[in-house]
Amino acid sequence: MIYKHDYQRMALDTDRMMITQCGNDYHDYSNNKLACIYIKWAEEHCPERLQAETDKGRIYVHIDERITECEKEKWKIWNKMRDTDSEYALAIKNADTAKVWQLENLFELQAEEISVQRCLLV
């Protein structure tokens, strides 16, 4: 990707997936799984979107908005799974903490996968 302005540069390191912009304004997404997924996907499928946001000086705002939208969707899906799963209801009724945690972790993984497809990779 070619960046038009030296004063405003976005560096994407595919190993660490970090974003930098303008001196002290530094945003490191290396520990954010959703950001890494989005950046990697956007680099391959719509680099012009990243370039446009970089040119406007709001690349990190753009990425944060996408991540926030995905997180909100993830928890909506997770809550719906909890509310509609009969096995979960039974585990709650029986006070089976281990089963509740197991199902909640499973719901979280499934909800994250769905939300990534719905919100990030579009």
Helices and strands, number each (H, E), in the chain: 5, 2
Q: What is the pTM of this model?
A: 0.72
Please indicate whether residue 46 or residue 27 has the higher confidence score (pLDDT).
46
Tokens of 112: 């994250």
* Residue recorded with tokens 């970090």: 18
Position 63 pLDDT exceeds 70:
yes
Whether residue 47 is predicted with pLDDT greater than 90 in this model: the reply is no
Domain boundaries, the chain: 19-120
Instruction: Write out the E strands in 3-121.
Output: 19-20, 26-27
How does residue 4 score in pLDDT terms, banded at 50, 70 and 90?
very low
pLDDT digits (tens, 9 = 90+) for 73-111: 999 999 999 999 999 999 999 999 999 999 999 999 999
Ramachandran class of 22: left when φ > 0, alpha when ψ lies in -120 to 50, beta otherwise:
left
Cβ-proximal residues to 69 (8 Å cutoff; 6+ apart), any chain: 119
